[in-house]
Amino acid sequence: MDKIRIRGGRPLRGSIVIGGAKNAALPLMTASLLTDETLTLTNLPDLADIATLTNLLVQHGVGFDVVAGAQGHGGRVVALKAADIVSTTAPYDLVRKMRASVLVLGPLLARCGVAKVSLPGGCAIGTRPVDLHIKGLTQMGARIDLEGGYILASAPEGLRGADIVFPTVSVGATENLLMAATLAKGETVLANAAREPEVTDLARCLVAMGAEIEGIGTDTLRIRGKDRLHGAEHRIVSDRIETGTYLMAAAITGGEIELVHGDLDHLQSVGRTLSAAGIEFTPTERGFRAARTNGLHGVDAMTEPYPGFPTDLQAQMMALMSVADGASMITETIFENRFMHVPELMRMGARVTVHGASALVRGVPRLTGAPVMATDLRASVSLVLAGLAAQGETVVNRVYHLDRGYERLEEKLAACGADIERLKE
């Protein structure tokens, strides 16, 4: 397995181009199953998770053509066409690699009336059950059984609209039921729906494909089903998690980075929290600039559904607070097992005490380089951030997690002055 070696202590300066959002691209790709016409996606990032979902969609019968590679400051342009669905089974060997694969369930069931989808895998950061997906589809008239690790779903007469109230906010369930509802008979209302920018991006793409959706960007989505959807072209929204990660890289090293295509409107909670910590944001013609201006101060953060502080930036925030003046309390309310990076940060000298769902972080003057182990996608990048600020050499092992969500990470950081390299094995 590859490793990443970092020699820390260098303030980062320069610019980083933010790519298309992985968490938007994945549901957008599965939306191609809803039509027999071509869905063209622009600004598609080149990531391991994208490749995994591509393999799954291809075995369903989706044609996947790269129209243009990454050009200038833009991602790839791809054309997806599901003229014929040749398989309605999403096998374990493909789904186990990434839990977002369960997003084929709603589109397959809506278009074909049947689907067999393996229960998903992915990062080991909590159970993240699919019960809300199943309950919602059942309300829409599907018959669903769990057998041998698979979700067996059928709706031979088609899905029908329903009023669905999510007991808790779920991005994946909102996306799955939103896509299914576009081809259901009648009207579907999704209440307490997720409001993440990635959900909004999916809804806008579905509208471009002919869907009728009201309430986009709110917690109540009203969908009037259509007999069919058509093809469309859609640009994937910029990745707010990549944006937040790199602005924290500027902050933790005491540097200054322009985030090209970065959108602070999608990070308002993060912006407020980091402004209080001493980070300054300046709009530019291409995005915005992030810089640490007057020291780094400890602040508290609690993860919440959008527009709250994203759980996908919690680990990076903890790395940043480990070198801040004073103490910080970081509370995780989304996933129950998302502090696995804590022991690795402590190997580098961080002072962290975990109390259930909260972690008390007492800032230290400096971290010290050490060999560390990545446990999941966001935890792995938090160790990279810590290594950028640490004295000496840090080696991050199991970086295949990083490749799931960060495109050319070491190249982008090196261009801003980081002493970082990938070690091939």
Catalytic machinery residues? 123
Q: In the structure encoding, which two tokens stand for residue 35, read together? A: 């039509």
Q: In the structure encoding, which two tokens stand for residue 84, read together? A: 């014929």
Where would I find the beta strands (DSSP E) of 262-339? 279-283, 287-292, 301-302, 327-331
Sheet of strand 76-81: strand arrangement: 63-68, 76-81, 38-44, 232-235
The neighbour count for residue 395, using CB atoms within 10 Å, is: 17
Which residues, 6+ apart, have CB-to-CB distance to 220 below 8 Å?
189, 190, 191, 192, 193
Q: In the structure encoding, which two tokens stand for residue 317, read together? A: 């925030």
**Spatial distance between the Cα atoms of 421 and 424, rounded to a whole number of angstroms:** 10
**Spatial distance between the Cα atoms of 4 and 397, rounded to a whole number of angstroms:** 7
Do 241 and 312 meet the contact criterion of CB atoms below 8 Å apart? yes
Enclosing H/E stretch for 76: strand 76-81
331: β partners = 302, 358
Cα dihedral across residues 193, 190, 142, 206: positive or negative: negative
Q: In the structure encoding, which two tokens stand for residue 121, read together? A: 């895998």
Burial status of residue 368 (CB atoms within 10 A of its CB: 0-12, 13-18, 19 or more): middle
Dihedral class, residue 215 (left if φ above 0, else alpha if ψ from -120 to 50, else beta): left
Instruction: Work out the angle at residue 278's Cα, subtended by the Cα atoms of residues 396 and 268, and round it to the nearest 5 degrees.
Output: 85
